[in-house]
Structure 1
Amino acid sequence: MQKFITKRLLTAIPVLIMISMAAFLMVNLTPGNPAELYVMPDATAEQIAATERALGLDQPMPIQYIRWLGRALTLDLGNSFSTRYPVLPIILSRLIPTVVLMGSTLLFSYIIAIPLGIISARKQGTWIDNLLTGGSFIGVSIPNFFLGLGLIYIFAVQLGWLPTGGMTELGGDGGFFEVIRHLILPVIVLSAFYIANMSRYMRSTMIQVYGENYMRTATAKGLASKTILTKHGLRNAMIPVITIIGTDLPRLVGGAIVTEQIFQWPGLGRLTITAIQQRDYPILMAVTMLSAVVVLVANLLVDIMYAVVDPRIKYN
Structure 2
Amino acid sequence: MLNRLNSLKTRQTNTQTEVSTNPRPANKTAYSPLSWAEIITTETPKTTHPLPKKPTFATQEPAQTEQNHFKKFSIVIPTNFGATKPFKDKTTQESYNRVNEALMEVNAKQDNNPAEARCLLDNRATWTHLADPVFVTSPTTYAVIVHACPTFLDFDDEICTKAFLQQNEIDNNKVLCIQWLGHPKEEEKSHGLVVIQLTDKATAQQLLRGGLIFNGTFMRPMPYTPGPHQCFNCLKTGHQAYQCKNDPTCIKCGGNHTPQDCKDSTYVPSVKRCVQCINEDIQLKGSTNKYKDKYRHSCLSQQCPI
TM-score (ref. length: structure 1): 0.23
* Higher relative contact order, structure no. (Cα contacts within 8 Å, ≥ 6 residues apart): 1
Write 1 or 2 for the structure with the bigger share of strand.
2
Greater CA radius of gyration, 1 or 2?
A: 2
Write 1 or 2 for the structure with the bigger share of helix.
1
